[in-house]
Structure 1
Amino acid sequence: MSDQHNSSNIYERFAQVMQQTRDLVSNMEQLQDQITAILEENVELSIENEHLRQIVKKGQAKHDDNHLSGSRQNLKELYQQGFHVCSEYYGKRLAPNESCTFCLDAIFGHDQGMTK
């Protein structure tokens, strides 16, 4: 009976190790899927990052052309669309054909004059 008890115990241990191995393989497959997803996302972000670098480079080239920083260029575009960009009236609509000295000063600064 002792041999039968030992055989049963060995079989149970073997079954337990087999289940642990299956669980380990399942966990490894899940990790592999996660690693694959992360690597794919990394490639996508690298491509997007390179695209954004190119856009920034173009923006810097434009900055050199018209001597306005990117943020001031954005303010100029908002102003040209009819919105105040000065701290006094920021976001309010300009009346038709209205100009605002404060907005022009915010866009072009003191040293660049008050021209559009």
Structure 2
Amino acid sequence: MDNRSLYDSFDQLEVELSTTMNQLLEIKESLQKLVEKNAELELENQHLRQHLEEIDNRNATPSRQELSRSRMNLEKLYEEGIHVCNVFYGQRRKDDESCAFCLDVIYGERSK
């Protein structure tokens, strides 16, 4: 290879490398935008999940662990088919039907 062709090859390689470098910079910028958007969406998703959880907690009936020991005992009796309300206390629930009075005694307001 003579000096002229070597120099031309080197110039051509330099142009190709410059083009490749520009493409890499564009890809890097695109990737940076995607990473930022992804982080933003993950944060928004987390906030939405927390908001949904708060709404669910407001609407949910108390879980078994939140019940006092006496209410857990009443719940057990109720699940065995016995009324625990003051209206029908001690009577068998026919066909295990629900009783709003019993449910209010077990899961009603906490301030009682």
- Once the two structures are TM-superposed, the CA of residue 4 in structure 1 deviates from its matched residue by 1.1
- Once the two structures are TM-superposed, the CA of residue 20 in structure 1 deviates from its matched residue by 0.7
**Which residue number corresponds to residue 13 of structure 2?**
13
Q: How many pairs does the alignment contain? A: 67
Superposition pairs for residues 1-116 of structure 1, below 5 Å? Answer: 2-60=2-60, 63-64=61-62, 110-112=97-99
Task: Determine the C-alpha separation between the residues in 1 that align with 2:21 and 2:98.
Answer: 74
Runs of 4+ in 1 over 2 A off after TM superposition: none
Q: Secondary structure at the match of 1:36?
A: helix
Q: Secondary structure at the match of 1:111?
A: coil
**Which residue number corresponds to residue 80 of structure 1?**
none
Give TM-score scaled by structure 1 length.
Answer: 0.53
- Once the two structures are TM-superposed, the CA of residue 111 in structure 1 deviates from its matched residue by 3.0
Task: Determine the C-alpha separation between the residues in 2 that align with 1:49 and 1:28.
Answer: 31
Superposed CA deviations along residues 78-109 of structure 1, whole A, max 9, x for unmatched, are xxxxxxxxxxxxxxxxxxxxxxxxxxxxxxx7
Identity of aligned residues (%): 15
Give TM-score scaled by structure 2 length.
Answer: 0.54
Task: Determine the C-alpha separation between the residues in 2 that align with 1:27 and 1:8.
Answer: 29
Larger-gyration structure (1/2): 2
**Which residue number corresponds to residue 110 of structure 2?**
none
- Once the two structures are TM-superposed, the CA of residue 25 in structure 1 deviates from its matched residue by 1.0
**Superposition CA RMSD, Å:** 1.9
Structure 2: state its 5+ residue gaps. 63-95, 101-112
> Which residue type is aligned with residue 15 of structure 2?
A
